Amino acid sequence: MSEFQLEMLYTPGDIESAIARLAREIRRDYRNKNPVLLGVLKGCFVFMADLVRALDIPLETEFVSLSSYGPRRTQSKGTIEVFQGLRKPVRGRHVIVVEDIVDTGITVDFAIRYLRRRRPATLRVCALFDKTARRRVDVPIDYLGYKVPDCFLVGYGLDYDERFRYLPGLYCLKEDG
Ligand code: IMP
Ligand code: MG
């Protein structure tokens, strides 16, 4: 079994400050709008949990499960599968898509098109990390935590083949040898 080196990029404290800033921005724009935070699983679950508590305004949460990765892949296939779609209508609602990281942009682009067909009143995107170097589709990110380098990242909900999601910080994964 091959081993990995983990290089820390952001401490749990760095992530907490980014989320506090995002929460201030979103709170300012969505107070009294009862927004729907729409998380894209699985990667978003840690971020979503911290973000909703930092926001501290009335809101609702929904999740969709999308995946562009097969097992043991660090590259997007470029096609998206909907494992679990929306369970409730979002027509007329203020929807914020919550993503852990935007890489090629294909997933967020898909999510935006998927949601637009359901006629929300407004639709914005919040992502904790943005890997700009690998962008293939131009997507708007209205609320962003950090820009990150072109490196495979794990921790804080992000996985490599389901590993490392539990780590509280963000790490760059480097394969040994
Ligand atoms: P995209 O469609 O290429 O933008 O990739 C979006 C999804 O791939 C993200 O929501 C993540 O779940 C996953 N992903 C992208 N980059 C990384 C990474 O560096 N580590 C772990 N997962 C990633
Ligand atoms: Mg994701």
Instruction: Report d(CA 94, CA 137) in Å as an integer.
Output: 24
Nearest-angstrom CA–CA distance, 146 and 67:
22
**Count of other CB atoms within 10 angstroms of residue 102:** 24
**pLDDT of the chain, 177 residues: tens digit per residue:** 668 899 999 999 999 999 999 999 999 999 999 999 999 999 999 999 999 999 999 999 999 998 765 554 555 666 888 999 999 999 999 999 999 999 999 999 999 999 999 999 999 999 999 999 999 999 999 999 999 999 999 999 999 999 999 999 999 999 886
Cα 133 to averaged position of ligand 2 atoms, centre (Å) = 17
Q: Which of 103, 109, 130, 159 is the catalytic position?
A: 103
Q: Provide the pLDDT for residue 3.
A: 86
Beta strand 94-102 with 81-84 is unpaired
**Domains observed in the chain:** 11-152 (3.40.50.2020)
**Would you call 130 a catalytic residue per the annotation?**
no
Residue 58 Cα to ligand 1 middle (Å): 29
Cβ-contact 161, 175 below 8 angstroms: no
Q: Which residues line ligand 1 (CB under 6 A)?
A: 40, 43, 68, 76, 99-107, 131, 152-154, 158
Distance (Å, whole) CA 123 – CA 106: 17
Residue type, 62: E
The pTM of this model reads: 0.93
